[in-house]
A and B are shown apart, each in its own frame.
Chain A
């Protein structure tokens, strides 16, 4: 049997089309309504409530907690103040990414790490000689994401403290109608939003409170299909979709360094040592062989390809997670897109793409493969900077 999240009693009742999928050994809703569009628009227009409990979460506590994290992740953890959240990948000894997640400093000697894959063993293996305790709280910590323009207003109706002061990528303890939680201004949508972390035993209560408080503000439970579109618009990579963990890769070509994932900004080479540092320093010096960029496919090119066979353009309304070749105009393959979608908000066809470095400059003209009526065609596309969508309210 697969695991269910602490919110399953509520989410199961809402999942009209029984549209479930797996996430980290759990069942989660792909969409609650029969179509996912309204859920997506809630992210961008009101507030979406997402069950993100399947994330792995670890609490790292002790005098050497920062030291352990600094050994493992690429960012500089010791410098982070209490209440700060860092997004960071971590690498193996050859500088290839194992996983990515967030590190939140809950107090001087306590951190919470989130990740897409389990990392208890990796953390333990790196803790040799350190005075630190690592607890796997994945199953006992429920997690919700409340994302969208009205998310703050909703939370403030329940929260015992003012959230206007909670800045982007900060975290604070709080109470939601008496239930102790931590609230981080983080998310996977690239929008104004919060993630709420709480003991699993209060999950249903908090869910109900949020629904009640949020209904006047358009709160909408949203599933993974809606989230996928938002995160692509936000330019955020997804493990096992946009990159393969070095832990699972079978050949070197399947692995990626942070530089190859456009995460070079997370690599703090001034740290004296962390796993993979030597390899990363060398790569930084010579430049990565691959880059991870945004690609915008020209709408008129798409229209023309469909018109040629007598059809109006038919693009999928859900995001895709397959590998799609990208070429130089009329030339060889120089990369591949790994995630893509039609953005209902931006009215553009977007893709997250890996390109050989010399083809990755913004503005570069390329072509992306498009299968039209069983034939593989190419549509003109252009490298654009990420994120595709970056509203002011995200950081305001």
Chain B
């Protein structure tokens, strides 16, 4: 008879897979239970239209932790990160703003728009470098609880305090500003080119129901520079085979260490006895026992769905209810018969191997946000577009292409609710907007897949379609994520842990939560 399981991981998203891999590496017998027929969660590649591979939801590898890539030897398991070098921002007047991989080339392009901005860009980058280094240790840190008096938490606070007090004065103040300001205000202090501010500032609105003028959106600017401080290690880019290949690589690593992964195995609830987790019940009725259960699902699904509020302390349930999701992102995946022809840069060129950002001005982004605030999708949305087949020919048949369009804003809470007709209307708004910059677009579309937050919730299981398992606003980060006193991967149920992006360090394909949950489990005395 097979050895009983030491741990069950609910959900085969990338964080769950990371947890499983580390636990298996440490010799634990682990089983991952994934509801869908494939692992990956929101990091999946699917041939929705035959011959064409879509990265259905997430589409870039942004901050996959270098230590995870190293520890799990992901390149050996198939991870191949291709660089995304450039960003093109088409402008309504037929011009464009581009940021290239080469410094001289970028400088020359920016100089064309503003000589001052061309110089400011380097200094801005230097400051961001310092700020990214200041923030980096926090990503890998178990959040201390400032209200607790436990030695472990006090030590954590002391470490945190010493770290920040050790920063250079200008860096400390710049960090304070970055954490509290809106991306528009922050960038206004550095640059004058509207399209530059909008394109950079757009990173602050990804997955968030906030606009570039909303305070608290500036700190996400660090995202881009976080990758830079890893030096040539360069985790940022496009995964060959789509983001699904990231999940597959982690799954392969986990299996290599002996973890078992079951798909089409939907968990109905967590089994409890005497306030402890003892296993799970599948939708099929089967029960699987294990003294450790780790949930990679978002906090709402985990606690209000799989556990049930009756089994949880009242204050904790309130905190989880208050934890905000408010999905605001949509996705349009296209199979194309040919390449789009951008009016601002006609023909095929290096710009098609990078990202295209529909973000001509801060006001444009803010208006897109205004629509969503009151329950409509943006009529003229922000878009982050990549053509993966330009970098990775295997994603589409020869001569044909796939296009991935990430969209803000597409609110989960739509006036009147999401229907098929509304979904198509959203898709039309996206295509119409892009077609203004690439007029041949409609004529080359072979297939279109439109994903709204309702779809994301339904397919990938993310509450309200929030791609981060919960908003990444300051009041829901670090020791408050997902709830105070429960930000260290444990839960009020003994033996039940959480490893998804609803914990620190949050969303983006980082794997950080998965890894730290595993460490917490391995470090905890049984």
| A binding-site residues for B, Cβ under 8 Å | 1-3, 22, 25, 118-122, 124, 136, 247-248, 250
Contacts and interface: CB of A to CB of B under 8 A. Distances in A.
A25 B108 contact: yes
A22 B129 contact: no
A247 B105 contact: no
Nearest to B117: A121
B119 A25 contact: no
B391 interface: no
B279 to A, nearest CB: 52
B119 A1 contact: no
26 contacts: A2-B104, A2-B105, A2-B108, A3-B108, A22-B104, A25-B104, A25-B107, A25-B108, A118-B115, A118-B118, A119-B119, A120-B115, A120-B116, A120-B119, A121-B115, A121-B119, A121-B120, A124-B116, A136-B115, A247-B122, A247-B123, A247-B126, A248-B122, A250-B126, A250-B129, A250-B130
Interface of B is mostly: helix
A118 B115 CA distance: 9
Interface in B105-144: 105, 107-108, 115-116, 118-120, 122-123, 126, 129-130
A198 to B, nearest CB: 22
Contacts of A22: 104
B360 to A, nearest CB: 24
Contacts of B120: 121
Nearest to B104: A25
A120 B108 CA distance: 14
B110 to A, nearest CB: 11
Contacts of A3: 108
Nearest to A124: B116
Contacts of A119: 119
Contacts of B108: 1-3, 25
- State the 9 A-B residue pairs at the shortest beta-carbon distance, nearest first: A25-B104, A121-B119, A121-B116, A118-B119, A120-B115, A25-B108, A136-B115, A2-B104, A121-B120
A56 to B, nearest CB: 10
Nearest to A139: B111
Contacts of B116: 120-121, 124
Contacts of A122: 119
Interface in B449-486: none
A1 B115 contact: no
A6 to B, nearest CB: 16
B118 A1 contact: no
B212 to A, nearest CB: 24
Nearest to B102: A2
Interface string B324-343: 00000000000000000000
A25 B115 CA distance: 14
A120 B120 CA distance: 10
Contacts of B122: 247-248
Contacts of A2: 104-105, 108
A124 B114 CA distance: 13
A3 B104 CA distance: 9
A22 B122 CA distance: 18
Contacts of A250: 126, 129-130
Given A2-B104, A22-B104, A25-B107, A248 B119 contact: no
Contacts of B129: 250
Given A1-B105, A120-B119, A121-B116, 6 more contacts: A120-B116, A121-B115, A121-B120, A247-B122, A247-B126, A250-B129
Nearest to A249: B126
Contacts of B107: 25
A118 to B, nearest CB: 5
Contacts of B115: 118, 120-121, 136
A3 to B, nearest CB: 6
Nearest to B125: A248
Interface string B513-525: 0000000000000
A260 B163 CA distance: 31
A248 B127 CA distance: 10
A119 B116 CA distance: 9
Contacts of A121: 115-116, 119-120
A11 B105 CA distance: 21
